[in-house]
A and B are shown apart, each in its own frame.
Chain A
Amino acid sequence: MILLVGYGNVMRCDDAVGVFVARKMAEAFPHLTVKTAHQLNLELLEDAVSFDKIIFVDASESGEEVALKKIEPVGGAKLISSHHFRPELFSELFKTLYGKQLDLYLCTIRGDSFEIGNILSDNAYTRCQKAIEMLSAIIQQDAAYA
């Protein structure tokens, strides 16, 4: 069972790529559990308990256009505020609180514009299509979904 969570601020242009991709994935895979959020939040820890694999989709400011990496728990990660809750801390907290390690992945999609606005840039839109293709392949390979 896979949980896919797309997060970002939909009023900050390309920061919304995670939410955009999540919505598209929900349309394409009606039985996939998909959540969207403004930001990563603590209560998702409770949701994560019921799933074998978690995929977060978020915007990045730099790096590869589209990337997927496995997230490992990192000791010393901090919660400065709930607005800055990172996947590494999510993984660390899950391990500490529930005694098992999450199979957690972060898909990042590079954005070009993070100004106030509700339209994706052309480049970000194209990268979202690539991310959707990549994530769709993962979902189709998942035994539970198949």
Chain B
Amino acid sequence: MDNPSTSKRIVISPVTRIEGHAKITIRLSDSGKVEDAQFHVNEFRGFEKFCEGRVYTEMPSITPRICGICPVSHSVSSAKACEMIMRVEVPYTGTLLRRLMHLGQVISSHALSFFHLSSPDILLGWDYDPAKRNIIGIAEKFPDLAVRGIRLRKFGQELSERLTGKKIHTMGIVAGGASFPLTSENRQALLDWIPEAIKTTQMGIELFKKYYDSHREEVESFANFETLHLGTVGPNGEHELYDGKLRFVDATGKIVADQLNPRNYLEFIAERPVEWSYLKYPYYKPYGFGKGFYRVGPLSRLNVAAMMKTPLAQKEFLSFKALAKTSAVNGCFFYHYARLIETLSAVEEVKMILDDTRILSSEVQATASRNQAEGIGCSEAPRGTLFHHYTTSNDGLLTKINLLIATGQMNPSMNRSILEVARQYIDAKDIKEGALNRVEAAIRCFDPCLSCSTHAIGSMPLLIEIEDHKGSIINTIRRG
């Protein structure tokens, strides 16, 4: 516990090239060392209250409006919660179509994160002119890569468009299945994209590896700390995004809990509020607050998985696993690598699904009415495990809603990351812009979506304030 009267603070607000708005405070002691760091989310999410009193079957079309980046995951988790209330089984083709849309969203979200939000740090450098250290800089210096990234994202969006007629805020996923069958023409159009999507993803992987080879020490030490990891796996421990059971592993890769039913999430996940943020601190209940902090998202999903489901991704997965001295990779910079491996896997799985002739069946939706009060749905959103939990009245109106969002589950680890990176790079006597960018980049590794976790609007220029021990601002750095 530091003494506030002898501390200085650095404030970064907003954190840029992430989805949403937040600020970072770094507290320095009077000797100039980083003592603490906090990631503040100051916006309030009202969806749980706003939706009370609505008919539960509306939720798969309402909740995608929480965010334009991962609407399908909200729709999938929501539909699953409704199907538990209805006790209905989704037809085989309906599941395939939903998987396609979900994979498409993972592809487009991951493409945006890597090619447009994070690649400027890798390709242009941490200390590059902040005015150009963004997508404009990438477009100017690497136009082919920028266009490829845009087209990869478009491919992901195309999966929703071809299946639903809409790109964002998909209405094609409904309680009981999917709204529309796939046509032969659309199936072929999607298959035609596959070679390009694989090539672009592989280019991204090569780009990451090249950077890793030349910055090995920095990449390995960047926000490298121990936590548990949570992700969904199939029955044989295979990597899974759409449906499965949950697995926790520890920082050495040892399985802590396996084949947990997501419907029982309240038995093993608890949350505690902190005073500086509207995002709570979730933790693995049996280990308690602190020891039970866990990460979710691409890095954690690869850490919990025993294998990938597709050949090219499996090959990269083996390289990923070889990075760790034990069997878990804990360095946050490897989130980018894991994200790209997942993208590759998703593109390959899209092809596998499209190659299944049953994808063209018109039996895409089952119907039923309310058969029980409560429903819980879970899927792996691009940023991590997403839970929707609904309770309904006898007439099917929602009386209680709980949304456990991936970004919220990463909150303790995001705080830990900025602390680690700040300790490594911040020199109180000479605070360089590139050092502050590294602190922001620690957050970008997680690709948090604060719009999802808070339903945020608005933006601000980047502001760094340094306060002396009396609370007076002694230096202000502004960009944006």
Chain A interfacial positions (CB closer than 8 Å to B)? 9-12, 35-39, 41-43, 45-46, 76-84, 89, 92-93, 96-97, 114, 116
Contact = CB atoms under 8 A, between A and B. Distances in A.
Contacts of B140: 96
Given A39-B68, A41-B168, A81-B459, 13 more contacts: A9-B457, A35-B167, A38-B65, A41-B157, A42-B112, A78-B131, A79-B136, A81-B21, A82-B68, A83-B68, A97-B150, A116-B47, A116-B50
Contacts of B457: 9, 12, 83, 114
Interface string B466-480: 000000000000001
A42 B68 CA distance: 12
Contact of B151 (A9, A37, A46, A76): A46
Interface in B341-365: none
B139 interface: yes
Nearest to A85: B135
A96 B139 CA distance: 6
A11 B150 contact: no
Interface of B: 14, 16-21, 46-47, 50, 62, 65, 68-69, 71, 108, 112, 116-117, 131, 134-136, 139-140, 143, 146-147, 150-151, 153-154, 157, 166-169, 451, 456-457, 459, 480
B435 to A, nearest CB: 19
Given A37-B168, A46-B150, A46-B154, A79 B116 contact: yes
Contacts of B169: 10, 38
B68 A80 contact: no
B68 A92 contact: no
A89 B16 CA distance: 16
B459 A80 contact: yes
23 contacts: A11-B65, A38-B68, A38-B71, A38-B168, A38-B169, A41-B157, A41-B167, A43-B157, A46-B151, A46-B154, A77-B136, A79-B116, A79-B134, A79-B136, A81-B17, A81-B18, A81-B20, A82-B68, A82-B69, A83-B456, A83-B457, A92-B136, A96-B139
B19 A43 contact: no
Nearest to B46: A116
A80 B71 CA distance: 20
Contacts of A10: 65, 169
The 6 closest A-B pairs by CB, nearest first: A38-B68, A43-B154, A11-B65, A96-B139, A38-B168, A80-B16
Nearest to A81: B19
A78 B147 contact: no
A81 B22 CA distance: 12
B112 A82 contact: yes
A81 B19 CA distance: 5
Contact of B143 (A35, A83, A96): A96
B480 A78 contact: yes
A37 B14 CA distance: 25
B162 to A, nearest CB: 14
A39 B153 CA distance: 15
A80 to B, nearest CB: 5
Given A41-B68, A93-B136, A83 B50 contact: no
B19 A82 contact: yes
Contacts of A36: 166
Nearest to B157: A43
A89 B46 CA distance: 31
Contacts of A45: 150
Contact of A43 (B135, B143, B153): B153
Nearest to A12: B457
Contact of B135 (A9, A12, A79): A79
B19 A83 contact: yes
Nearest to B150: A42
Contacts of A43: 108, 150-151, 153-154, 157, 167
